Structure 1
């Protein structure tokens, strides 16, 4: 059962993100001015696939901890809060064509990821370590998001 609680929300976030993203890639997104460090489009799918796999494994490990483990509930709450912001980001940026709204989402999203790592570390160090690549990528994405907003504002 814990595997479903870990995987289904992540798959849902992934599908929701794709539904918002793909219709805008060839048109609106292609026309935006982007910084020189913007990765090519093909990079995003494999990176996010790997990150979602790591996220699911981290969530599963946290869910495997005994319910009475100190910090477990908070780590899971933070995890699912950042996941919700993750899914929302694609809708703000791509579906609404609003780099500014997405920027206002990604900063608290990144802070929630950092808080999740800190709290998860107290419950399961491997789960916390699995979320470090997510924090690095979302930190990079925040800089990229800001740059796109700045260049197109």
Structure 2
């Protein structure tokens, strides 16, 4: 009787594993998304006064793109954490994800919160470095999950190019930057 109970508990633990991994990664990604979004004010007089490149997408595109990207980050993290064989590997992957999500949210605070395109650009450059590290670390554990992160990295590279263009166009005397 006791062996059956132990076996049932172990089965329940295995069943909860994915729920916990995907739940935790989804919660972390959601928290980062909300923290970053809370800094954005695309309707502010300051932001509207900035000169922007002609190729900048309309504001509504950003939400439409970020939503599925955040979903892929949560999926990739939950999946990769489940395939990590060692605790040390899981810890490093979770730490890499935490740093990445902090930088992700921080970019908006640097740009909109500080009202500084240059600070926002610095944040996106750091985020790109973090993306490379996160993809590398994820690839060591789960190559399929790492490939899932590539659109996220590509969008962040686009955001860096956009930030660079905005910073350049607004860096002269009398500019809002």
Q: Which TM-score applies when normalising by structure 1?
A: 0.92
Instruction: Work out the CA distance in 2 between the residues paired with 1:81 and 1:126.
Output: 21
User: Any residues of structure 2 matched to 1:42-121 within 5 Å, and which?
Assistant: 42-68=60-86, 71-121=89-139
Based on CA coordinates, which of the two structures has the bigger radius of gyration? Answer: 2
Given the alignment of the two structures, is residue 15 of structure 1 paired with residue 34 of structure 2, yes or no?
Answer: yes
**Given the alignment, which residue of 48, 51, 66 partners 1:30?**
48
Show structure 1 runs of 5+ residues with no match: none
Q: Answer 1 or 2: which has greater helix percent.
A: 1
Structure 2 counterpart SS, 1:104: helix
Instruction: Work out the CA distance in 1 between the residues paired with 2:113 and 2:83.
Output: 37
**Shift, 1:97, TM fit:** 0.7
Instruction: Work out the CA distance in 2 between the residues paired with 1:69 and 1:114.
Output: 22
Show structure 2 runs of 5+ residues with no match: 1-19, 172-177
Q: Which TM-score applies when normalising by structure 2?
A: 0.80
Query: Which string of whole-angstrom CA distances, capped at 9 and with x for unpartnered residues, describes residues 94-134 of structure 1?
Result: 12211111111111110110111112111011210111001
- Which gives a bigger RCO, structure 1 or 2 (Cα 8 Å, sep 6+)? 1
